[in-house]
Structure 1
Amino acid sequence: MEYEPAPRGEELINTMAAGRPWWKLWASDIAPWIRDLPKAVRTNKYNRIEWIGRPWDGVSDIAIGEQPWDGERDSSEAEPLWNGVFPEADYVVPAADAALLVGELRRQIGELPLLGIALPDHRNVRACLAGPEGSISEPTPGTLTIDFDLGDMVLPLCIEYWQLRPDTATPMPAVARLMMRKLIHAARHRKRLLRRELRMRTAFEDIIGEIGDGAAPLWLRLEPLRFDDADDLLTHLPYVALDISLDLHQVWAPSGVERVKTIAKLQKMHAWRPTAHRRAVARLAEMHTSGSIGWITDVALALIEARGLNPAEVFRQERDASLHGGRSSHWGVVDHFGGLFCNHGILSPYFRFDGGDYNDGTLTIYGNFPHTLAAGAAGRPLAAFADHPAFVASGATVARAEELDGRLAVVHEPRLIPVEEAERRWMSTPCALLDGYG
């Protein structure tokens, strides 16, 4: 059996937090877990781990902006954040400057013990992205961020990447003074800040609790406020929220959103999650119970069998390619442009042909069609709409059809065949004998 139970979200949080509340995790607590995740998870910008960022080790220079985790992603694979230049090449904070900033902050905070702010050290320093998901033309800013422990909440303050250039840089002692002004402002408005924080925290815990089945809150933190921004922005900052749940690779991984200012938006952005997560957990549990490594859809299996390939080998190759950020090993199936993809333990196809395409249960045919065609589609063979060998061999039957603008969408429910059953079928074919099986 290839499946081994992995720690679920709440177990991972308990290990990282070591008795502390989850919302007080530092980037340095989370980074070792992230480094052990498969490459496809680490390099997926949409899970928002870049908004948590990379912790400073206290001795190294700090690269600001998007950068490869552990050097496994080449610069050619990372999206340029601004001006086509990769930030790790041009925006680097010398370790001495970071140490000077932390030292100044420790000194000034130490002189005001009544603020109730813990003295920061290198574990409070991280390089992270801040703001909305960006693009090459409008990049997500990279920041040098310090998380300040106010006791019952954490307040992040930052320096943006452009403020670190020699021509725009502010001396670190001056940065420390301006950060201190914001910390004093935060102390004066602690009740207001904390009231909002506790409402958001409770709502997030309730939302992730509704997802259930091992999901757990990982990170809920204000987006970093720039050291020279207006102090009163502190009470209006948006939040970054990440949880741990089961992803499409069947890995317990981060999933996150940014720029969240209200509970209503937080709820709306997670509304679809419980159903999707529970389905993924149930599918993984079924694999565990049955001892199967996954499933192949009927159309995917028809494509594989047409080429005489071992379905189990194809499944493993595509699963591994998906996990480790590789490309499909079977790009170009049955002389058509397309490939096979393994998501949620299911191997599914995508391919195009003259006049249409097929993607995971939906056949799309381009053109204008009479209304009666869609209305009478249910129950007919999929091959009646497109004479493709895979549709003929799979015996797929249409569940419904819908006429859209300039195309017809024909939907069937893919039949899932356990990988082991598909391999047994293949073992009885001449192709298996030629490959030395049987």
Structure 2
Amino acid sequence: MAGTPRVHWKHRWPAAAAHLLQRWGPVDAETGLTTFRVAAVSGTAAPPEERPWTTVPSPAEVARYGGFPETFTGAGRAGHRHPVAVEPMNHALNLGWREGGWKAARSPEETAHEVGLLLTSLLEAAPAGLGEPAGELIAGLVRKMFVHSFMNDWVRVTVAARPDGPALGDEVHLLGRDLGGETFRLSVAPAASLPQPQTGELWPDPAGLLNRKTDPPRTLTEQQYRQADLGIRAACAAEVLGELVWLTNNDRMRVTVQTEPHDLKLHCEAPDDADSAFRSWWPGSPLCADLLRQERWEGEDITNPRRLGEETLAEFLTDFESHNLEQARSGAWAMREIGDYDPDDDPQPRFPGDRLVALLGRDLFDTVTRQVMNGPGGVRPLAYGIGVPFHITPDDYGFDGCLMLAGPELVGIVTIEAMA
């Protein structure tokens, strides 16, 4: 029994982290394109009580469970992979309800360490090397997949590019299953084996690749593709950051990113003139109307957002990072990843993933800046805040905020829901 490959809601965080890993991983020095492709797919299998993986599933079984052979979408047959061997990594054992029910046969931490080494060594082989952000993301991803999940069944799948072809030794394919039979497959391969469009040819929308369209239409120019790929990067960073920052036992921070054209042709190098033009346009824009409909910006004049200078913007970004680290540290304590601590201590204790929390927030705003400015450059976008900068008192339950970054042709809106 197997379902249509997709990204199940339970696996949204690992899928977002996997797609972000592709964009944080090594890039080609000449093209600026990523040198690895990553795929994250959900499916279904018989649950452990019906088909325990104490007997390793066959290549035919994992092909059904993991959505093979259409492994890397948007590459046609070059993206097909056929399972030829299956190696057990961990499996679920039913110890009975008196002994705690289902448990992993091996320590999940041990499996996570093993997979972390696999992914790290694969990406480090690229000429550009791995880099700190990708290394931290791998550590966070394997913790989520192997330690903080209910997926005790894991296998590594060896694949070939065609049914009768030789095994590929430079790819990693992992398949896991939870107690309900939901499966998650993570695949990483060098992009060199997955041909890119030639100069002048159209590119597929990366959102289609993210949504598992087998062969999405090639409708974008290369420049449009690069812009759209930045949007995927920002959305994935927002999703991963939100999942690391829990406000209560039941409420996580939510961060959404929206980038839209404003048709103003703003000259950001003349900020006062650009500000006047933006303020004339903003109150009648669909984006402003959408914020007004949300009815959660108490005491804020949505139609007249506060302009943020360089110092004020830097203050907000610093405070936002501190807020995220504080909440994530509290979550690490609740998960018993660190011992008790005093919130007044200086410095505060380290916790697993603290560096990743900081890197995600910085990359999120840097990526939106690159989007609206159409690439890196010395000129900064205009910045506006609704509910930011924020100041949380002991009587507050968090904050809601919206940061707007306006470039020559686009405005990016980062909305933060951090109210418990």
The structure with more helix, counted as a fraction of residues = 1
Q: TM-score, normalised by structure 1?
A: 0.30
TM-score, with normalisation over the residues of structure 2? 0.31
Larger radius of gyration: 1
